[in-house]
Amino acid sequence: MDQQHEDQTSSTSSGIDRRVFLSASGGALAAAALSSTALQALPSMMHNSVDETIRVGLVGCGGRGTGAVINALNVEPRAKLVAMGDIFKDRLDSSLKNLLDEEHADRIDVSEEMQFSGWDSFEKVIENCDLVILATTPHFRPEQIEKAVAAGKHIFAEKPVATDAPGVARVRAAARIADQKGLTLVSGLCYRYQDAKQQTIDRVHDGSIGDIITLQCTYNTGGLWHRGRKDEWSEMEYQVRNWYYFNWLSGDHITEQSIHSIDKMMWAMKDAPPAKCSASGGRTCRTEEKWGDIYDHFNCVFEWENGTKLFHSCRQWSGADGDVSDYVHGTRGTAAIQRHRVDGEVKWNFSGSPNDMYDAEWVELFRSVKGERDRINNGEYMCNSTLAAILGRTAAYTGKTITWDEMTSSELDLSPVAYEFGPAPVVEIARPGTTKFS
C-alpha cells in the first residue's frame, strides 16, 4: 500500500539549468508535438500479433516501480522487462535482484547495457521500450511523460503526476498529445480499476443515494520510512533519497498519498473540479529537521459551485489510530465507497471478493495497447485529482481560501535551479498567514 511506496527518481540530464529544463514545457511542447511531423510519430508497436513481445521499461526502481513490473508480468505473458533506470545505481541493483527472485524471472531480460543510472536515465529507458512505467519521485513526472509521449510510447504513470500547478499543466498538455497519437496512458490511481469501487460509484451515479449533499474522506496512517543521511551525500542527494519529506519532490503527503481519497471523491462528482478550498494543517509530530518541510496532518473543505462540500482529512502519525474511509451522503442515502455499500432508501452491498486493483489496471492497459478495447487515456482525471490535492495543500500552507481558477493559473514552480548533486532547494516550512500564495 501507499505507506510502503518507496519510488525512486530519475530526472533531467546532469547540470541542466532550470531555464533550459523548462523550455520544452507546457505550450512549447504542445506546439512542437502538434506539428505535422510530430503527429506522424505513432506508437512504436501496435502489438496485434499473438507472438509479439511487448518491451517494458521501468523508470524509478523503488518499491512501487518494482511492484508495477510484477503486476504487468502477472497479467500479460507477452510482456518482458528489457530496460531499467534510476538516478541511483544501488536502487536499480536492488530492484533487479528482487525481480529476479520473483515468479516471472524468465521475463526479466535486462542486460547490463539496458541498466541506466543518473539524472538522464529515464531518457535512455524510454528509447529502448514500447511501454514505459514511470514510478519515480513525483516531481520528475511531467518531463518524463512529455518525453515518453514525444517518443510515441505507451505509459503507465504513477500518482501524483506533478507537485505544482505548472507541472500539472505540462502533463495535461502532454496527455492531450498522447490522445492525438493514439497512445495508451494509464494512471496509478488504482481504485478506479477495482470492480467493487466501480460498482459502488455506479450506485452513486445512478441515483441510488439521490442528489449528493456532502462528501467525507479520511486517510489517516502511521509514519513512513526515512533513509538517514551519509557524510558523502550532498544536500541534493540527501533530499532526493529522502524525497517524501520535501514538498518540491513529493508534493507533501496530501498529494502523494491522500490523493487516492481525493480522487475517489472527484470520481463521485463525475470529475467536476471544486470551485474553492479552505484548509488547515501543520506539524504536530514531525518537528525534527529530518522531516524536511512537509506537514503531518491536513484538514480541508472543498466546495463546488452548487454548494456541495467535501470534508477531507489526512494525517501520518505513528502510534495513532488509522482510518481510510470515504462516504458520499445524498438525499436518499449514503454510499460507503471503501466498504462498497449503500444504505438508505436503497440497500446494496458489493457481493464477492474485489479484484486486485493493481493487476486490474494492467489488464486494461494491455487490452488498450493490443487494440482489444477502446484506447485508454486517463490524462484529464489524473491531472484534475492531482491539482485538487495541490489546491488543498496550498490552502493549508497559506491559510487562505484558494479558488480552482487561482490554482490553475498559479505560476509557483517548485523546480530547483539545476539538476545536479550539490546544493538543493532551501527548506522552508510553510506558515499559514505568512506563506504567500503565488
| DSSP per residue, 2-62 | GGG-------SPTTEEHHHHHTTSHHHHHHHHTSHHHHT---S----STT--EEEEEE--S
pLDDT at 119: 98
pLDDT at 321: 97
C-alpha cell at 111: 542486460
Strand 297-303 and strand 309-316: the pairing is antiparallel
pLDDT at 51: 62
State the distance between the two ends of the chain, measured CA to CA, in whole angstroms: 33
pLDDT at 438: 86
The pLDDT tens digits for 344-374 are 999 999 999 999 999 999 999 999 999 999 9
Whether 34 has a pLDDT exceeding 90, the answer reads no
- Give dist(CA 301, CA 63) in Å, integer: 32
Whether 286 has a pLDDT exceeding 60, the answer reads yes
Whether 10 has a pLDDT exceeding 90, the answer reads no
pLDDT at 20: 33
**Mean pLDDT calculated for residue range 157-176:** 98
Give the percent of the chain with pLDDT over 70. 88
C-alpha cell at 355: 479484484
**Mean pLDDT calculated for residue range 207-211:** 98
pLDDT band at 105 (very low <50, low <70, confident <90, very high): very high
Between these two residues, 180 and 1, which has the higher pLDDT value?
180
Encode 343-378: b = buried (16+ Cβ within 10 Å), e = exposed.
ebebebebeeeeebbbebbbbbbbbbbbeeeeebbb
Which positions ≥6 away from 110 have C-beta within 8 Å?
A: 81, 82, 83, 84, 96
The pLDDT tens digits for 379-413 are 999 999 999 999 999 999 999 999 999 999 999 99
**CA neighbours closer than 13 Å in the CB half-sphere of residue 41:** 17
Whether 21 has a pLDDT exceeding 90, the answer reads no
CATH 3.30.360.10 fits 195-355+385-419, yes or no: yes
Whether 182 has a pLDDT exceeding 70, the answer reads yes
pLDDT band at 76 (very low <50, low <70, confident <90, very high): very high
Among the listed ranges 8-22, 166-180, 424-438, which one has the minimum average pLDDT value? Answer: 8-22
* CATH for 2-191+361-377 (3.10.270.10, 3.40.50.720, 3.30.9.10, 3.40.190.80): 3.40.50.720
For residue 307, is it left (φ>0), alpha (ψ between -120 and 50) or beta?
left
Whether 244 has a pLDDT exceeding 90, the answer reads yes
Whether 41 has a pLDDT exceeding 50, the answer reads no
Which positions ≥6 away from 211 have C-beta within 8 Å?
A: 330, 331
Name the average pLDDT for the chain: 91
Query: 105: exposed, middle or buried (C-beta count within 10 Å: 0-12, 13-18, 19+)?
Result: exposed
Whether 153 has a pLDDT exceeding 50, the answer reads yes
Whether 39 has a pLDDT exceeding 70, the answer reads no
Whether 6 has a pLDDT exceeding 70, the answer reads no
pLDDT band at 13 (very low <50, low <70, confident <90, very high): very low
Extents of the domains making up the chain: 2-191+361-377, 195-355+385-419
pTM score: 0.90
Whether 223 has a pLDDT exceeding 80, the answer reads yes
**Mean pLDDT calculated for residue range 338-348:** 98
